[in-house]
Amino acid sequence: MSILLNQSFIPYELGEINPNTTVLEWLRSNRLVGTKEGCASGDCGACTAVIGELVTVNKKDVIQYKSINTCIALAYTLLGKHLITVEGLKEGDDLHPVQKAMVTENGSQCGFCTPGFVMSLFAMYHNEKVIDLTKINDALSGNLCRCTGYKPIISAAYLALSEKEKGSQDFYERHQAKFVESLVKLRNEKDVSLSYAKDQKTLLFDAPSNIHKLSQLLSDNPSANILAAGTDLNLEITQSMKEFPHIVSVNRVTELKQIVDNGSEIEIGAAVSYEEAKSILVKHWPNLNSFLQRFASLPIKNWATIGGNIANASPIGDMAPVLIALESKLKLRKGDSSRVIALEDFFISYKKTLLESSEFIESILIPKPSSDDQLITHKISKRYEDDISAVCMAVNVKSDKSKPCSVKIGMGGMSGIPQRAIELEKALLDNWNSEELKSVAYEALSKEFSPFTDVRASSEYRLRVSAGLAQKTSLIMQGYSVEDLAHYSEH
Ligand SMILES: Cc1cc2nc3c(=O)[nH]c(=O)nc-3n(C[C@H](O)[C@H](O)[C@H](O)COP(=O)(O)OP(=O)(O)OC[C@H]3O[C@@H](n4cnc5c(N)ncnc54)[C@H](O)[C@@H]3O)c2cc1C
Ligand code: FES
Ligand code: FES
């Protein structure tokens, strides 16, 4: 099984490797050491590389480039894709336009972060025709630099794109047709089933191509670990030094990669990434645009799946509160049978869900909103982007003749599970235009939740900030815009 690597059109055989090997480990053990390791947990961006994947646009195969964190992606999950690292940018002695721009604008000092920044800029160079500061910040949201202060790197982003506007094409644009041809051949290699012998053990990796094979595999191997993007799971490899004996990837399962508009609801396959789901989510709930900007970083969103976020059952995961507020359902599958359950019933206790052995999430069903519905979301975290929530609140307001008639609230960070806030719903509905709302909300929250204290926030802070968020919500319900409230304090 092969990948395309950098400027070569000839597929590169990955060979037999331990299925727990990350892309970064694989690169560095193959002397491609431009890609650096900083944190090994997706937080610093030193390991950023770019992958190219085939997508169909107007019935034509084209390559879409996206930045990823190689430190938490497994090498075998790149099978059939094009991996581009910093070594694949220059042509002969000629630097790539983004590299030239970094040199011209003095975007590098000690240089440790530079390959990661260059690769994020390279992905942006391929994906954007016109840029502004928001797009640049988004493209660089996963990269940290401790030397430059970012300004020269931002200038380099503008300079590189201005070169592109003049009509220059880089190696990958000039040879796109040949890369497409090679990737189409790799796409035809359907199911992946690999084994690796280590110390008298056999480590297994399976990546089936359809849902029947996936459910069969999981029924036959109930103790196998399901892998989506691995942005949660693979931290157990890089941070806890765990080795999974059998990994079953859902990455290639066609049915789990689909987004279907069923008329009254949207069905999002469990293996759809945030960036893939973004346009349909934002189309129906425009406010999710700013919320998703606060979710992780672009390389994480390019790769991580919504199904993984829910199955991981973290009490501070961001999608569950939003999807609970939207009254979403989950389609679960085991063998040949499926069941549909309300998402709010899925979480039982800390990291425990209704999923049975061999069962997996097939898709998420989200009812479409009516024209008067309003989704209001809040995320409290220490860092603006690339940080997990201390508290997350999502409020779905339905109105009748401009008056709220139903409120559904999903909350994260307030208990051991993402949870509906039923008492707060009543308090908000009865007091949405009252000055007493904040204290009523605090009382309702204290009745329903005993939040934990941890490094992100104390229990009392979580209660108080949530009451403040309820008040902010009520002001938005009264017609204040988010911009009006930009400097509103939750305390
Ligand atoms: C730097 C960084 C920043 C992050 N920021 C945020 C953030 O802001 N907000 C947030 O909520 N999260 C954040 N995360 C966490 C993570 O990115 C998300 O939870 C992501 O959605 C997980 O999806 P995945 O595809 O990577 O799941 P994986 O890691 O592949 O899987 C997670 C768990 O779900 C199981 N699983 C996966 N798919 C299925 C399925 N279809 N059926 C059953 N079980 C399944 C796996 O076995 C595993 O136990 C961050 C992570 C990192 C590394
Ligand atoms: S090494 Fe820090 S994000 Fe990968
Ligand atoms: S140049 Fe030193 S960390 Fe960025």
Give the tens place of pLDDT for each residue, 266-307. Answer: 999 999 999 999 999 999 999 999 999 999 999 999 999 999
Ligand with minimal distance to 25 CA = 2
Q: How far is the CA of 73 from the centre of ligand 3 (A)?
A: 23
Given a cut of 90, whether residue 474 has pLDDT beyond it is yes
Task: Give the range of the structural domain holding residue 386, as residue numbers without chain letter.
Answer: 374-477
Is residue 490 in some structural domain? no
Tell whether pTM > 0.85: yes
Domain boundary among 337, 367, 397: 367
Both 281 and 302 in a single domain?
yes
Among protein residues, the one with the nearest Cα to ligand 2's atom 3 is 42
Is residue 483 in some structural domain? no
Q: How far is the CA of 414 from the centre of ligand 1 (A)?
A: 19
Ligand with minimal distance to 112 CA = 3
In the numeric block, the tokens 């997706």 are attached to: 42
**Residue 13, phi then psi, degrees to nearest 5:** -75, 120
Among protein residues, the one with the nearest Cα to ligand 1's atom 38 is 308
Among protein residues, the one with the nearest Cα to ligand 3's atom 2 is 110
Both 10 and 30 in a single domain?
yes
The DSSP secondary structure of 300-362, one letter per residue, reads HHHH-BHHHHHHHT-TT-SHHHHHHHTT-EEEEEETTEEEEEEGGGTEEETTEESPPTT-EEE
Is residue 159 in some structural domain? yes
Domain boundary among 367, 391, 408: 367
pLDDT band for position 488 (cuts 50, 70, 90): low
Query: Which of 23, 26, 47, 234 is the best mutation target for the ligand 2 pocket, counting ligand atoms within 8 Å of the beta carbon and taking the most?
Result: 47
In this structure, the residues whose C-beta lies within 6 A of any atom of ligand 3 are 108-114, 145-148
Both 46 and 76 in a single domain?
yes
CATH assignment of the domain containing 422: 3.30.390.50
Give the tens place of pLDDT for each residue, 136-172. Answer: 999 999 999 999 999 999 999 999 999 888 888 999 9
Both 223 and 201 in a single domain?
yes
Distances (CA, A) of 344 to 54, 262, 376, 423, 435: 35, 21, 18, 15, 30
Given a cut of 80, whether residue 386 has pLDDT beyond it is no
Give the atom of ligand 2 at the shortest distance from the alpha carbon of 36.
Answer: 1
Among protein residues, the one with the nearest Cα to ligand 1's atom 50 is 296
Among protein residues, the one with the nearest Cα to ligand 3's atom 4 is 145
Give the tens place of pLDDT for each residue, 91-146. Answer: 999 999 999 999 999 999 999 999 999 999 999 999 998 889 999 999 999 999 99
pLDDT of residue 187: 86
Selection from 413, 398, 401, 430 nearest residue 466 by Cα: 413
Give the atom of ligand 1 at the shortest distance from the alpha carbon of 234.
Answer: 29
